[in-house]
Amino acid sequence: MSGPNKKGMSLEKKHNVTGWVFLIPATALICWMSFYPMIKAFIMSMQTGIGINLTFGGAANYLRILKDPTFKQCLFNTFFYLIIQVPVMLVLALALASMLNNKHLRFKGLFRTAIFLPCATSLVSYAMIFRSMFANDGFINTVLRGFGMNPIMWFANAWTARAVIIIALIWRWTGYNMVFYLSGLQNIEYSVYEAAKIDGASPVQSFFKITVPLLKPTILLTTIMSTNGTLQLFDESLNLTNGGPGKSTMTLSHYIYNTSFVQSPNFGYAAAMSIIVLIMVAILAVIQMKVGDER
Amino acid sequence: MRKKIVAAMLASMMVVSLAACGGGDDGSGSTGGDTKKEETTGTDEKKDDAADDAVAATDDENTLTVWCWDPNFNIYAINKAAEIYAKDHEGFNVKVTEIQSDDIETKLTTAMSAGDLSTLPDIFLMQDNSFQKYATNYPDIFVDLTDKGIDYTQFSEAKVAYSTLDGKNYGVPFDNGAAISCYRTDMLEQAGYTVDDFTDITWDDFMEKAKVVKEKTGQPLLTQQAGSTDIIMMMIQSVGASCFTEDGKANIVDNEAVKKAVEIYSQMVKDGTLLEVTDWDQYVASINNGTVAGVINGCWIMATVTAQEDQSGKWAVTNMPKMEGVGEASNYSNNGGSSWAVTSNCKKPDVAVDFLKSTFGGSTELYDDLIAKGALATWAPAGDSDVYNQEVPFFSNDKVYAKIVDFATKTPSNVTGPFYYDARDAIGVALSQITQQGIDIGTALQEAQDTVDFTMGG
Q: Report how far residue B68's alpha carbon sits from residue B175's, in angstroms, rounded to the nearest whole number.
A: 13
Considering the domain architecture, whether residues B134 and B166 belong to the same structural domain is answered as yes
Residue B341 confidence (pLDDT) = 93
Q: Which residues in chain B are contacts of A225 at CB distance < 8 A? A: 11, 31-34
Q: DSSP H helical segments within B290-330, as ranges?
A: 302-306
Out of A222, A224, A259, name the one closest to residue B11 (CB).
A224
Q: Report how far residue B18's alpha carbon sits from residue A283's, in angstroms, rounded to the nearest whole number.
A: 17
Is residue B123 in a domain?
Answer: yes
Residue B3 confidence (pLDDT) = 54
Q: Which amino acid is at B336?
A: G
In which band, very low, low, confident or very high, does the pLDDT at B15 lie, cut at 50, 70 and 90? very low
8 A C-beta contact, residue A281 and residue A258: no
Cβ neighbour number for residue B370 with a 10 Å cutoff: 24
Report CA B144 to chain centroid distance, whole Å: 23
Better pLDDT: B23 or A291: A291
Is residue B145 in a domain?
Answer: yes
8 A C-beta contact, residue B121 and residue B54: yes
Q: Report how far residue A13's alpha carbon sits from residue A121's, in angstroms, rounded to the nearest whole number.
A: 48
**pTM for the whole thing?**
0.77
- Backbone φ, ψ for residue B296 (5° rounding): -120, 125
Q: How far is A102 from chain B (nearest CA, A)?
A: 25
**Which of A62-71, B12-21, B99-108, B394-403 comes out lowest in average pLDDT?**
B12-21
Helix, coil or strand: residue A152: coil
Is residue B9 in a domain?
Answer: no
8 A C-beta contact, residue A245 and residue B437: yes
Better pLDDT: B303 or A110: A110
Is residue B406 in a domain?
Answer: no
Contact A261 B105 (CB under 8 A): yes
8 A C-beta contact, residue B94 and residue B64: yes
Considering the domain architecture, whether residues B328 and B342 belong to the same structural domain is answered as no
Average pLDDT, chain B: 82
Q: Report how far residue A99's alpha carbon sits from residue B313's, in angstroms, rounded to the nearest whole number.
A: 62
Q: How far is A188 from chain B (nearest CA, A)?
A: 23
- What is the tens place of the pLDDT at every residue in B270-279? 999 999 887 7
Asked if the C-beta of A295 comes within 8 angstroms of chain B's C-beta atoms, the answer is no
Out of A224, A234, A286, name the one closest to residue B27 (CB).
A234
- What is the tens place of the pLDDT at every residue in B176-207? 788 999 999 999 999 999 999 999 999 999 99
Q: Which amino acid is at B223?
A: T
Is residue B427 in a domain?
Answer: yes
Contact B227 A177 (CB under 8 A): no
Considering the domain architecture, whether residues B219 and B317 belong to the same structural domain is answered as yes
Burial B433-453 (b: 16+ CB within 10 A, else e): bbbbeebebeebbebbbbbbe
Q: How far is B106 from chain A (nearest CA, A)?
A: 6
Considering the domain architecture, whether residues B287 and B426 belong to the same structural domain is answered as yes
Q: Report how far residue B405's alpha carbon sits from residue A112's, in angstroms, rounded to the nearest whole number.
A: 62
Average pLDDT over residues B13-35: 38
- Please tell me the number of Cα atoms within 13 Å of A86 on its side-chain side: 24
CB within 8 Å of A90: residues ≥ 6 apart = A177, A219, A222, A223, A226
Q: Which residues in chain A are contacts of B227 at CB distance < 8 A? A: 244-246
Burial status of residue B53 (CB atoms within 10 A of its CB: 0-12, 13-18, 19 or more)? exposed
Q: How far is B239 from chain A (nearest CA, A)?
A: 26
Q: Report how far residue A280's alpha carbon sits from residue A144's, in angstroms, rounded to the nearest whole number.
A: 40
B379: β partners: B155
Is residue B183 in a domain?
Answer: yes
Confidence check: pLDDT of B391 > 50: yes
Helix, coil or strand: residue B398: strand
Considering the domain architecture, whether residues B162 and B188 belong to the same structural domain is answered as no
Residue (of A123, A119, A160, A110) closest to A236 by Cα position: A123
Last residue of a domain, one of B357, B384, B411: B384
For residue A245, is the peptide bond before it cis, meaning its omega torsion is within 30 degrees of 0?
A: yes
Helix, coil or strand: residue B298: strand
Sheet with B63-68: strands ordered across: B93-98, B63-68, B123-127, B338-342, B172-173
CB within 8 Å of B294: residues ≥ 6 apart = B181, B182, B183, B184, B198, B221, B222
Considering the domain architecture, whether residues B118 and B226 belong to the same structural domain is answered as no
Q: Report how far residue B435's alpha carbon sits from residue A21's, in angstroms, rounded to the nearest whole number.
A: 64
Considering the domain architecture, whether residues B228 and B314 belong to the same structural domain is answered as yes
Q: How many residues does chain B have?
A: 458
**What is the distance between the terminal CA atoms of chain A, rounded to a whole angstrom?**
47
Contact B26 A234 (CB under 8 A): yes
Q: Which residues in chain B are contacts of A123 at CB distance < 8 A? A: 28-30, 39, 43
Instruction: Kindly state the helix (H) or strand (E) to which residue A97 belongs, with its residue range.
Output: helix A69-100
Contact B436 A267 (CB under 8 A): no
Residue B202 confidence (pLDDT) = 93
Asked if the C-beta of A172 comes within 8 angstroms of chain B's C-beta atoms, the answer is yes
Q: Report how far residue B373's alpha carbon sits from residue B303's, in angstroms, rounded to the nearest whole number.
A: 8
Q: Which domain holds residue B93?
A: 63-176+336-384
8 A C-beta contact, residue A240 and residue A216: no
Is residue B393 in a domain?
Answer: no
Average pLDDT over residues B230-245: 90
8 A C-beta contact, residue B258 and residue B252: yes
Contact B421 A262 (CB under 8 A): yes
Structural domains in chain B (count): 2
8 A C-beta contact, residue B99 and residue B65: no
Better pLDDT: B454 or A292: B454
Q: Report how far residue B28's alpha carbon sits from residue B48's, in angstroms, rounded to the nearest whole number.
A: 16
Provide the number of CB pairs (under 8 Å) joining chain A to chain B: 239
- What is the tens place of the pLDDT at every residue in B305-364? 888 888 989 999 999 999 988 888 899 998 888 899 999 998 888 899 999 998 988 888
Residue (of B422, B414, B412, B421) closest to B178 by Cα position: B412
8 A C-beta contact, residue B297 and residue B137: no
Q: Report how far residue B346's alpha carbon sits from residue A291's, in angstroms, rounded to the nearest whole number.
A: 59
Contact B39 A136 (CB under 8 A): no
8 A C-beta contact, residue B194 and residue B331: no
Considering the domain architecture, whether residues B379 and B446 belong to the same structural domain is answered as no
Considering the domain architecture, whether residues B72 and B193 belong to the same structural domain is answered as no
Q: Which residues of chain A have pLDDT under 70?
A: 1-8, 293-295
- Backbone φ, ψ for residue B58 (5° rounding): -110, 165
Q: Please state the ipTM of this predicted complex.
A: 0.71
Interface probe, candidates B21, B30, B443, chain A, greatest A C-beta count within 10 A: B30
Confidence check: pLDDT of B409 > 60: yes
| CATH number of domain containing B95 | 3.40.190.10
Q: Report how far residue B144's alpha carbon sits from residue B170's, in angstroms, rounded to the nearest whole number.
A: 5
Considering the domain architecture, whether residues B139 and B247 belong to the same structural domain is answered as no
Residue (of B173, B175, B177) closest to B340 by Cα position: B173
Contact B113 A271 (CB under 8 A): no
Architecture (CATH level 2) of domain A68-292: Orthogonal Bundle (1.10)
Sheet with B294-298: strands ordered across: B294-298, B179-184, B315-318
Contact B29 A270 (CB under 8 A): no
8 A C-beta contact, residue A252 and residue A260: no
Asked if the C-beta of A249 comes within 8 angstroms of chain B's C-beta atoms, the answer is no
In which band, very low, low, confident or very high, does the pLDDT at B11 lie, cut at 50, 70 and 90? low
